[in-house]
Structure 1
């Protein structure tokens, strides 16, 4: 029989602890583990309810983000409506996005459920900003967003409804906007440090959001969907989509060659992109090689369709004079096996060629395209944050103007900055878990301390009172049907950083098992100084849940737990 929500609230997840030990934990996906432990409940594919435990962790992450956004990012909090009118999205050419949830009101007006708020915030701020004196301005919000994912996957990592922190900056000049972009990236560094999980920031492709510069924030993990590349010489880190590379030796590939056709921006030149068949064409590198003179709207268009567009409205005489640019990836040579060119009957002498470009995704071991000296390494990763310098991409179509000092009108320079808050819960759970269950960093754990005892008695009450009066977040396992070992296992699987074990046999000493990873070494110095006086001993390789095992007299419990928590 399934427990009611009241039972979950009161007893957290203990009702399922038995099924989540040993091999069951190892075999569970992180999403299923979060459900089994009572953090979330999936209702439909890509949709979840947040239960008390999950909400505590979600709120802790949210509070860390809000604190840094306001103290370091100098941002003001707002809360925008999630219903966004079609007219705004038509102005920015984003209404035809296939991932928008669209709906009509009773009057037949079209709206979408906002997946992001560039349109709404630009319209809002544009109605208030009139002068350069009103700038700079940065606002942020934390709220639910919606994306009609065709294949939701990864649990909280890619859902149809998600909690997101999105921020937007408005500046009077490009130089000021770039400084704001750099400042916000510093704020993001502080946020991710506060969360307590190692991360990397990488230069990235701006994608559909647009803009000239963007950075992504990642947790490296072998199961991640993204790839980040790092140079061992200059230290440059970027997403593989933004990473340029060169082979250790040029012109060494002699196998089959693939070709993709594209058109110049004016569609008068056919661009033929030749690259090794065993590599992936990188559109960002193509644009860089051609100084942006390529029609990006044809990126996913078939070769046949591109050729059809190139031939359109041209007579045979005009085709004879049409121009073709061949872009040869630097890995190719004259012995490579090239495909036939389909327009040889028309084009006789109007070929030009670019041969020294690298236009494919980088691979580990190649030379870094930034310094051309170091070698690249690659790691799979999970993206959890993204910052963009937008320029005037949204302010111009939505007419967000201001009056300058010279009394002329200019469009605002913008940036936008996102963090997937609910995605962070899933990502942190995934990259920190082990065979015993979740292993939260202290900063985001639902509780800092658990108290476990074979029976609820006056000793437990004394320890609980001692720790609670200290202002710490304490959870007491009160499951009367569970033995001590099962309660300890429950604490470890929940990922609570410190488990205090109370028993009559060891009293007045109390045992402590440390579940969360320690990042500091203060406890060692304190142990050397106070160990004997406090009755404090340590066994660092305790077998239960991979937790270090401490023992201390009760009157110094707060001292030891305080030191341990400080090192987390």
Structure 2
């Protein structure tokens, strides 16, 4: 790291310390502001940041972890797609109307968007190369910048307008093979997140605008998260609240007001009346499941008045009498509940049906799990950092990505897509692991693994640098001559560097170092018990639950640092 950058970085630290950088202050400062003050990023305007050297090192290390596992065993090949995507492709899939697209015109007046994701482009690309079933299966991935016109960017790196993402796309011959690929990719995601050393959960989720029949999300649990993940105490089923079904311990107990939402079936010849408690939130995924997906999902966001107008359109009073109506009753309701007026004045009972005792609303804690109907649900706030989707033929059909099967028939590819928010991970891990001293990175993504701090640059400092030669590219030597030793150590800890080596004549030939990595293992304790005496190695508390202080003879500094780093 260049001295000029260190001086700038240290000045940022000094500014905060001059404002009484207390534990209380660090506990309340926003994580995004902390990353800026420590010199990882610089926000230019809401939702946009520049990546500075420290932040770029962490960003690249996360990318390397992802690449290692994605490319293992030939799981996927790397590509890099243009982010300027033409309007025609997005119109083919019905996504051009998405309000979060950055849209622009070239000098000829042609319309483009800055891609927030690349299903359209990759499907068109792969479709132009495959012709036979022998060309499949195929999975490709890229790590690159994406763009989303967030109206209210928030959470710093957690929800920006420009972000770095790993997106992968799979193409298979059949649904069975596509599901096998989906399973293998989720196993790969498990390995990626285990490598990052931050506790995570995977949860079944709603596919949202991406589409498809099945998806899983990956989350870090944290009280500041925007999502809610629910887990069953009996079967262990984990899902996002959007895909979680639940039942009350006692059904038919709601005697209060009832809300109703109207919907139409796909043919738009049946009125669907959805009744649920007024103090709960209707869950459209549960509605779709209850009606075997025979619901016109394009009307989900429309008002009751609009749905009724569409149902009445082109019908006279006699026609309305013969209209088909289905009432869906949430299992919490009973005959004494306060129902709103029925929307039709006349109807034939033969065309009227009712479905009782289904669950239509978002699950809540302490209700019974809808998957097993035995365990209770517990919920927690979380930060989403990855998402995998089985897409089926949602994109291959409109974009005509097809192949000739063994029986010489033409078939459309079965697809999946898989995303990880790389820049989002920087913000999420910083948020989850930070403490009253600043950031606290896992070793695998820390900007540097080791820092060397001394009161002044002298022969002893050079000797220690030589002893750590094996980690030269991962060692940062604080050469700021305007800071005292205590300030340098505090800077190292604030930056989240896992090991801070402290050089001083008073202890020489022993060397002190402090360890600050989260989620360490315990194998180093066995090494301490076995080698402590011969290596002249001791360990004690540094007065903080997040810092360990070690002392070792200089001749074995390399050995002990190696043991500690291996356990991180």
Q: TM-score, normalising length from structure 1?
A: 0.97
How many residue pairs get matched?
562
2:557 counterpart of 1:561: no
Find the counterpart in structure 2 of residue 459 from structure 1.
Answer: 460
C-alpha distance after superposition, 1:290-348 (max 9, x if no partner): 111111111110111111111111101111221211111001111111112232x2335
Counterpart CA distance in 2 for 1:527 and 1:48 is 43
The offset of 1:518, in angstroms, is 4.2
8 Å contact from structure 2 (residues 252, 333) kept in 1? yes
1:283-298 maps to which residues of 2 (within 5 A)? 283-298=284-299
Verify the 8 A CA contact 2:330 2:356 in the aligned structure 1: yes
Give 1:87 deviation, angstroms.
Answer: 0.7
Structure 2 counterpart of 1:328: 329
Of 459-468 and 158-167, the range deviating more from structure 2: 459-468
The equivalences for 1:171-320 within 5 A come to 171-320=172-321
The structural deviation recorded for 1:459 is 0.8
Aligned to 2:551: 551
Q: Structure 1: any 5+ residue segments left out of the alignment?
A: none
Provide Cα deviations, 1:235-291, integer angstroms capped at 9, x if missing partner: 111111001111111111111111111111111111111111111110000000011
Aligned to 2:414: 413
Which residues of structure 2 form unaligned runs of 5+? none
> Residue 114 of structure 2 aligns with which residue?
113
Change (3 A) 1:11 1:464: farther
RMSD: 1.4
Contact map agreement 2:198 2:519 (CA 8 A) in 1: no
Q: 1:164 to 1:470 in 2, by over 3 A?
A: closer
Alpha carbons 1:518, 1:567 under 8 Å: kept: no
Distance 1:452 1:6 in 2: 16
Please give the per-residue CA displacement for 1:61-116, whole angstroms capped at 9, x wherever unaligned. 00110111101461000000000011111110111100000111111111000000
Residues 325-376 of structure 1 show CA distances to partners (whole Å, capped at 9, x for unaligned) of 1111001111111112232x23353431111110101111111111111111
Say whether residues 1:527 and 2:528 are aligned partners: yes
In the superposition, relative to structure 1, how do residues 8 and 316 fare at CA in structure 2: closer, same or farther (>3 Å)?
Answer: farther
After the TM superposition, list the runs of 4 or more consecutive aligned residues in structure 1 that deviate by more than 6 angstroms: none
**Contact 1:492–1:545, Cα closer than 8 Å, also in 2:** no
2:550 and 2:148 map into 1 onto residues whose CA distance is: 47
The equivalent of 2:12 in structure 1 is 16
Contact kept, 8 Å, 1:213 with 1:389, in 2: the verdict is yes
Q: Distance in 1 between matches of 2:271 and 2:419?
A: 38
The whole-number CA distance in structure 1 between the counterparts of 2:539 and 2:473 is: 22
Provide the residue aligned with 1:445 in structure 2: 446
The change in CA–CA distance for 1:463 and 1:12 in structure 2 (over 3 A counts) is farther
* Cα displacement string for residues 410-453 of structure 1 (whole angstroms, at most 9, x for unaligned residues): 00111000000000000000111011100000010000011111
User: Does the aligned pair in 1 maintain the 2:518–2:546 contact within 8 Å?
Assistant: no
| Deviation of 1:527 (Å) | 1.0
Do the aligned partners of 1:136 and 1:172 also contact (CA within 8 Å) in 2? yes
Alpha carbons 1:8, 1:38 under 8 Å: kept: no
Q: 1: CA distance between counterparts of 2:203 and 2:417?
A: 16
TM-score by length of 2: 0.97
Any idea what the Cα deviations from partners look like across 1:167-222, whole Å, max 9, x if unmatched?
00001111111100000000110011111111000111111111111110000101
Map of 2:341 onto structure 1: 340
> In 2, Cα distance between the equivalents of 1:233 and 1:286?
25
Matching residue of 2:371: 370
User: C-alpha separation between the residues in 2 aligned to 1:110 and 1:526?
Assistant: 63
TM superposition shift of 1:27: 2.6
CA displacement, residues 389-412 of structure 1 (integer Å, 9 cap, x when unaligned): 011110010001101111111001
| CA shift digits 1:136-161 (9 cap, x unpaired) | 00000000000000000000000000
Shift of 1:11: 4.3
d(CA) in 1 for partners of 2:471 and 2:310? 73
Contact 1:210-1:393 within 8 A present in 2 as well: yes
Match of 1:404 in 2: 405
In 1, Cα distance between equivalents of 2:53 and 2:493: 18
Once the two structures are TM-superposed, the CA of residue 24 in structure 1 deviates from its matched residue by 3.4
Does the 8 Å CA contact 2:3/2:480 hold for their aligned counterparts?
Answer: no
**Separation (CA, whole Å) in 1 of partners of 2:195 and 2:74:** 15
Instruction: Give how far 1:466 is off.
Output: 1.5
CA displacement at 1:232 relative to structure 2: 1.2
Q: In 2 relative to 1, CA 466–123 (structure 1 residues): closer, same or farther, beyond 3 Å?
A: same
Q: Distance in 1 between matches of 2:8 and 2:418?
A: 35
Answer yes or no: is the 8 Å Cα contact 2:203–2:218 preserved in 1: yes
* Cα pair 2:3 2:479 within 8 Å, conserved: no
CA distance in structure 2 between the aligned counterparts of 1:17 and 1:558, rounded to whole angstroms? 30
8 Å Cα contact 1:11-1:478 kept in structure 2 = no
Indicate how the Cα distance of structure 1 residues 51 and 261 shifts in structure 2: closer, same or farther if over 3 A, else same: same
Q: Distance in 2 between matches of 1:312 and 1:495?
A: 64
**How far apart are 1:530 and its partner, in Å?**
1.4
